């Protein structure tokens, strides 16, 4: 840190100024022959010169401050000598300089002392001088010195207050800077501690922040600095440079959990789930973006393994089950069965048929792997109301078992461009759920209607309902709500997932509104006409 030389500067400047003015006034006095006793002037100037020499030579900053007051005091005496050479030459005005110096540097005490001193010396010289005539000028000089020194004192006080304010502000600023630096460190530490990669993109797409996990992922994905090719969620479609998550985020795109594979198909490739958010300033201007990526290879692999297992087990089960059903049918076709055996065999056949349905569902959802049954849609113009009516009819016995009312009064006649078998599957599943997840003596309302472009099937129940947290996951494969898992109600968690796939394959959609404890409403939207065809 640089040494504070303020006091040194004040001393030297004040003394030099006084020295120069004293020398000039003495020279002028000599020139105008206004000096009665030249020895006194020379003595005074000599004293000022000595004081100036001392002012320049002494390191005032290292010396206790009051010592520097000796200099202006000596100056006051030197000026007294100058004044004595000719009292009317006006040398006494020079006292203004040491008076300002002391009053400005040594506070109230300085102000009092310097005025007592200058006045003392002044009135002493006045008293000792018999030739001094009593004119108004006599009191004007000490009054001027008092006024000027008071002004200097007040100005120095104000300057000190301003300096204190500035110091306080500087301290506050330093503290704020320190706090924001600590906060930045904290954010960096937190970002480095998490196991997902984070990149902050600037307005021009430059990476302004990247955390430790991102750097680790980068090293893993680009061994030896060689970037690996990126592939879409299917793992096969290669993404062009403009389609990579980073390029999309740089363009300001927002996306959620997009799955991207890095590395060619085969061993060692990694799957990342990438999310991008555009960042906006308070004024709504785009100021960059955030890209978050998580390594989900293990999760994706585990999911695939589960689907593979499901697919292969389903395959293996289908053949013996078909045989069982075939034989049951054969036996049931015979006439030599007692009524009790027939009832037993019919139950067995119904359950085996149900098992086959479940297996068909399992194979549908694992169609992408292991050559399962692909979801094929065969659309034509068909009556939606008839499909819904027959589904309701088929479910009546099951509803009756638990005294659930199935109200189909809201079904209007509607024809749409659909695959009747697939839509029956969807409707069976959704009305079946409305009965299955209802309470005893509950109520299910089913309706069909249409607007200009779509057929709408509404299924409303007043059953258990679904919690807000579970609704977004409802259409996931194998998803079953917590409330349902705890009961003995059986289900595979596949029905809704397949139903939505079927609706979407038609160009339609299934949506749900539900509240835990008060029931659910499922809405199925289907196209009225073939795409591109007008009515």
Q: How far is the C-alpha of 320 from the C-alpha of 276, rounded, in Å?
A: 49
Tokens of 14: 């004040």
Tokens of 150: 């008071």
Pairing of strands 454-461, 519-527: antiparallel
CB of residue 453 vs ligand ADP: minimum separation in angstroms?
A: 27
Nearer to ligand ADP, 286 or 350 (CB): 350
Q: Are 461 and 519 in contact (CB under 8 A)?
A: yes
Show the site string, 60-99: x = touches ligand ADP by CB under 6 A, - = not.
----------------------------------------
Q: Are 272 and 228 in contact (CB under 8 A)?
A: no
Nearer to ligand ADP, 8 or 462 (CB): 462
Stretch binding ligand ADP (CB under 6 A), from 73-81, 123-131, 249-257, 475-483: 475-483
* In the complex, residue closest to ligand ADP by CB: 491
115: nearest Cα among 101, 125, 129: 101
Nearer to ligand ADP, 30 or 479 (CB): 479
Backbone angles phi, psi at 521, to 5 degrees: -130, 120
Among positions 461, 471, 501, 528, the unique one binding ligand ADP when judged by CB under 6 A: 461
CB of residue 464 vs ligand ADP: minimum separation in angstroms?
A: 5
Stretch binding ligand ADP (CB under 6 A), from 41-49, 179-187, 379-387, 459-467: 459-467
CB of residue 474 vs ligand ADP: minimum separation in angstroms?
A: 5
Tokens of 522: 């499922």
Instruction: Give bridge partners of residue 524 from the DSSP assignment.
Output: 457, 510
Sign of the dihedral defined by the CA atoms of residues 313, 314, 316, 322, in that order = positive
Taking CA atoms, 236 is separated from 230, 277, 300, 308, 530, in Å, by: 9, 26, 15, 18, 31
Stretch binding ligand ADP (CB under 6 A), from 74-82, 173-181, 319-327, 490-498: 490-498
Stretch binding ligand ADP (CB under 6 A), from 57-65, 284-292, 411-419, 460-468: 460-468
Sign of the dihedral defined by the CA atoms of residues 251, 252, 258, 261, in that order = positive
250: nearest Cα among 278, 275, 227: 278
Instruction: Give bridge partners of residue 55 from the DSSP assignment.
Output: none
CB of residue 386 vs ligand ADP: minimum separation in angstroms?
A: 23
CB of residue 427 vs ligand ADP: minimum separation in angstroms?
A: 12
Say whether 292 sits in a helix, a strand or coil: strand
Rule CB under 6 A: is residue 359 a binding residue for ligand ADP?
no
Stretch binding ligand ADP (CB under 6 A), from 105-113, 189-197, 339-347, 488-496: 488-496
Q: How far is CA 135 from the centre of its chain?
A: 81
CB of residue 412 vs ligand ADP: minimum separation in angstroms?
A: 22
CB of residue 291 vs ligand ADP: minimum separation in angstroms?
A: 33
Stretch binding ligand ADP (CB under 6 A), from 84-92, 250-258, 309-317, 462-470: 462-470
Taking CA atoms, 385 is separated from 435, 450, 505, 528, 529, in Å, by: 19, 11, 20, 13, 16
Nearer to ligand ADP, 481 or 503 (CB): 481
Rule CB under 6 A: is residue 495 a binding residue for ligand ADP?
yes
Rule CB under 6 A: is residue 524 a binding residue for ligand ADP?
no
DSSP 119-134: HHHHHHHHHH-TT---
Among positions 152, 423, 466, 528, the unique one binding ligand ADP when judged by CB under 6 A: 466
CB of residue 177 vs ligand ADP: minimum separation in angstroms?
A: 55
Rule CB under 6 A: is residue 474 a binding residue for ligand ADP?
yes
Nearer to ligand ADP, 89 or 466 (CB): 466
Q: Which residue has the tokens 């006409």?
A: 529
Rule CB under 6 A: is residue 492 a binding residue for ligand ADP?
yes
Q: How many residues bind ligand ADP (CB under 6 A)?
A: 22
Helix 297-333 and helix 339-365: axis angle, to 10°?
Answer: 150
CB of residue 394 vs ligand ADP: minimum separation in angstroms?
A: 16
Backbone angles phi, psi at 75, to 5 degrees: -60, -40
- 12: exposed, middle or buried (Cβ count in 10 Å: 0-12, 13-18, 19+): middle
Among positions 423, 484, 510, 528, the unique one binding ligand ADP when judged by CB under 6 A: 484
Nearer to ligand ADP, 200 or 480 (CB): 480
Q: Are 476 and 497 in contact (CB under 8 A)?
A: yes
Show the site string, 411-440: x = touches ligand ADP by CB under 6 A, - = not.
------------------x---xx--x---
CB of residue 461 vs ligand ADP: minimum separation in angstroms?
A: 5
How many of the other CB atoms lie within 10 Å of CB of 420?
17
Continuous segment of H or E residues that includes residue 197: strand 197-201
Rule CB under 6 A: is residue 510 a binding residue for ligand ADP?
no
Stretch binding ligand ADP (CB under 6 A), from 78-86, 197-205, 286-294, 463-471: 463-471
Backbone angles phi, psi at 528, to 5 degrees: -75, -35
Backbone angles phi, psi at 324, to 5 degrees: -60, -45
Rule CB under 6 A: is residue 463 a binding residue for ligand ADP?
yes
Catalog residues that contact ligand ADP under the rule CB under 6 A. Answer: 429, 433-434, 437, 461, 463-466, 474, 479-481, 484, 491-497, 520
């Amino acid at each position: 840190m640089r040494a504070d030389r303020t006091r040194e500067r004040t001393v030297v400047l004040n003394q030099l100024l006084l020295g120069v003015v004293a020398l000039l006034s003495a020279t002028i006095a000599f020139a105008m022959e206004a000096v009665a006793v030249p020895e006194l002037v020379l003595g005074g100037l000599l004293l000022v010169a000595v004081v100036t020499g001392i002012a320049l030579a002494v390191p005032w900053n290292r010396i206790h401050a009051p010592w520097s007051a000796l200099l202006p005091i000596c100056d006051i005496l030197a000026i007294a000598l100058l004044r004595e050479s000719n009292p009317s030459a006006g040398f006494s005005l020079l006292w203004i300089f040491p008076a300002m110096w002391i009053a400005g540097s040594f506070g109230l005490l300085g102000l009092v002392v310097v005025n007592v001193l200058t006045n003392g010396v002044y009135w002493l010289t006045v008293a000792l001088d018999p030739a001094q005539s009593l004119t108004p000028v006599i009191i004007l000089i000490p009054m001027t010195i008092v006024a000027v020194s008071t002004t200097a004192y007040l100005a120095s006080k104000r300057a000190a207050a301003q300096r204190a304010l500035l110091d306080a502000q500087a301290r506050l600023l330093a503290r704020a800077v320190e706090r924001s630096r600590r906060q930045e460190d904290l954010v960096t530490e937190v970002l480095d501690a998490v196991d997902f990669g984070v990149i902050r993109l600037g307005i021009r797409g430059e990476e302004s922040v990247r955390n430790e996990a991102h750097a680790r992922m980068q090293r893993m994905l680009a061994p030896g600095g060689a970037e690996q090719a990126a592939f879409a969620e299917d793992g096969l479609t290669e993404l062009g440079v403009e389609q990579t998550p980073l390029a999309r985020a740089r363009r300001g795109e927002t996306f959620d959990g997009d799955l991207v594979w890095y590395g060619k198909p085969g061993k060692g490739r990694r799957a990342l789930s990438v999310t991008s958010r555009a960042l906006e300033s308070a004024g709504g201007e785009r100021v960059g973006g955030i890209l978050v990526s998580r390594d989900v290879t293990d999760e994706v692999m585990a999911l695939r393994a589960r689907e593979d297992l499901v697919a292969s087990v389903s395959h293996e089960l289908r053949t013996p089950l078909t045989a069982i059903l075939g034989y049951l049918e054969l036996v049931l076709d015979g006439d030599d069965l007692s009524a009790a055996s027939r009832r037993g065999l019919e139950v067995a056949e119904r359950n085996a048929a149900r098992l086959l349905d479940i297996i068909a569902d399992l194979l549908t959802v694992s169609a992408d792997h292991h050559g399962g049954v692909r979801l094929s849609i065969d659309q034509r113009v068909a009556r939606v109301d008839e499909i819904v009516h027959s589904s309701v009819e088929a479910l009546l016995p099951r509803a009756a078992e638990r005294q659930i009312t199935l109200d189909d009064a809201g079904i209007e006649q509607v024809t749409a461009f659909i695959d009747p078998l697939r839509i029956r599957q969807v409707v069976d599943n959704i009305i079946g759920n409305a009965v299955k997840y209802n309470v005893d003596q509950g109520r299910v309302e089913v309706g069909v209607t249409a607007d200009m472009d779509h057929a709408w099937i509404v299924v409303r129940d007043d059953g258990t309902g679904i919690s807000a947290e579970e609704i977004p996951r409802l259409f996931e494969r194998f998803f079953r709500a917590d409330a349902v898992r705890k009961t003995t109600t059986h289900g595979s968690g596949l029905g809704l997932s397949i139903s939505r796939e079927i609706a979407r394959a038609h160009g339609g959609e299934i949506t749900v509104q539900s509240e835990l404890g008060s029931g659910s409403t499922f809405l199925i939207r289907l196209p009225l006409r073939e795409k591109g065809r007008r009515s």
